[in-house]
Every structure is written in C-alpha cells, then in structure tokens.
Amino acid sequence: MGVIEPGQAFSIIGTTSFHAVISNNLILDPFGVGMTIAYLPGRFIRSMPSMAGTPNLDWFIREFCDSERIAAKETGKSIFELLEKEVRGVPLGAEGLLYHPYINPGGERAPFVKPSAKAQFFGIGLRHSRWHLLRSIYEGVALAMLDCFANIPIQISEIAVSGGGARSDLWCQIFADATGKIIRTPQATELGALGAAMSAGVGVGIYSSVEDAVKKVVKLKREYYPNSGNHQKYQQLYRLYQSLYQHLWDDWDLRVKVVNNP
C-alpha cells in the first residue's frame, strides 16, 4: 500500500480487520492491546487488529440472502452490487440500529481484549428491515475501525485501505465518514505478494530503496473524502457504540456461564 512514513496509517479489511499506524518511536500504549512490530530501520508498526471484518457480511449473506445469491448467479452480477443497492436506500445510522462486529468465536482483541465478547444488534424495531441490519453491519465494522485508530496515540490524516472490503465504494465512503479521514485504495489487489516482490526487488538491486520501490510500483486507485455532516453523526453513534460495549462487559462473561457456550 506504500505506507512507510511515520504518521501514515493503513487498514486491511479481510477475515480480520488489521488497523495500524507507522511510527518512528517504539509505542506500546495502550499496554497489552494490539501489537508493535519492528518495520524499516527506525520505524515501527503500531497495530490494533480486530478479530472480524468481512465475516460479518459473510454471515449475513449466508443467513438472509438466498434470493440475492440466486439472482447474482443468474445475472452474472456481484452479490455485493445487489446488496449495496439496497443498503444505499437506508439512511445513515440505520434508523437507530447499531451493530457490534464481534462475531469471531474468539471474541475481540482490539482495541480491547475480551474473549467472551459477542456481536449484537441494538435498537431493533418493527420499522427495520433486513437492509437496516445490513447497513448497521457496514457501519459497525467502520465504527470498530474508528475505535481502533482512536486507541493508537498517533495523529493521522488519511488511511490506506486494502483487502476485500476495499473493493466496496459504499464501504470505503462509510469508512471515510466514520473516521473523518481520507480513505485511499490501491490499484493492486494481492498486496502481500506485491510487497514481497518489492522487497525482493530492493534486495537484488532493482530498486535503490524501499522508498524507490514504493514510488515506482504503488499506484492509487481512488480517494474517498469524509462528509463533515456525516462524520458528526457518526461521532454521536460512536459514543453510543462505546457506551454499549462498556455496559456489556460483565454480561458477556455472565452469558458464558449461563449458556455454557463461549
């Protein structure tokens, strides 16, 4: 993704959601959460990798979207194209419906460590459709991104986003609006393989440095700019998002004891 300078941030939205910022100092705060990884000489990656990204969508599609899967197969369209058309018709905030994306069986590990944490919808009413549920899932993963970056003590202005989630224009715009940061997506898709090839190129002298490799190889696909009005609304939702999981902290543990099912 070309993220090599201190203060640059990136997110990989895939099976997990890996959020990180480059630093020129060894930063361990908040202690015991996330990882700090040695990177280039004099630089570190301070990360907050939450447990689940796109599996939240996968679960919804598996349980609620049989007709859309059939339609996608018959028309040759992407199922995500069909779903996002419906989601765009739901207003920001899903009319009071909020989702915590802690759907992984292992709970959550960033920006807090809680093996008993579980996903949940909050605020369901008779007016809500399955598309409200889906909108809240998109927004819940975005609020989890905001929560992770809010717990990394480094100021950022933009986030490079890759992974399956980066293919969604709708989701990337929600990321921008929720975080209040510019979202940048790269042209390349298999970035792990590309990064390995670039590193090899530096090693054998094809590129004079990592910076030279980034300049010559990494290409920008698109930028998404935050809407200030939408960001203010997401800030309000974020306060509720945090308050809810803080109040659920002990109840998650109680649930394990009651149902005997972690």
Question: Model pTM?
Answer: 0.96
**Per-residue pLDDT, 262:** 66
What region, left, alpha or beta, does residue 244 occupy, with left being phi > 0 and alpha being psi -120 to 50 degrees?
A: alpha
Beta strands in the chain (DSSP E): 9-13, 17-23, 35-38, 44-50, 98-100, 120-122, 158-162, 182-186, 220-224
| pLDDT, tens digit only, all 262 positions of the chain | 889 999 999 999 999 999 999 999 999 999 999 999 999 999 999 999 999 999 999 999 999 999 999 999 999 999 999 999 999 999 999 999 999 999 999 999 999 999 999 999 999 999 999 999 999 999 999 999 999 999 999 999 999 999 999 999 999 999 999 999 999 999 988 888 998 999 999 999 999 999 999 999 999 999 999 999 999 999 999 999 999 999 999 999 999 999 976 6
CATH superfamily of 9-181+226-259: ATPase, nucleotide binding domain (3.30.420.40)
Nearest partner of 173 among 149, 140, 139, 147, judged by Cα: 139
Q: Residues 6 or more apart from 49 whose CB is under 8 A from it?
A: 16, 17, 18, 19, 20, 34, 35, 109, 110
Q: Where are the domains of the chain?
A: 9-181+226-259
What is the DSSP secondary-structure string of 232-243? HHHHHHHHHHHH
Residue at 12: amino acid letter: I
Buried-exposed string 107-127: b where 16+ CB fall within 10 A, e elsewhere: bbbbbbebebbbbbbbbeeee
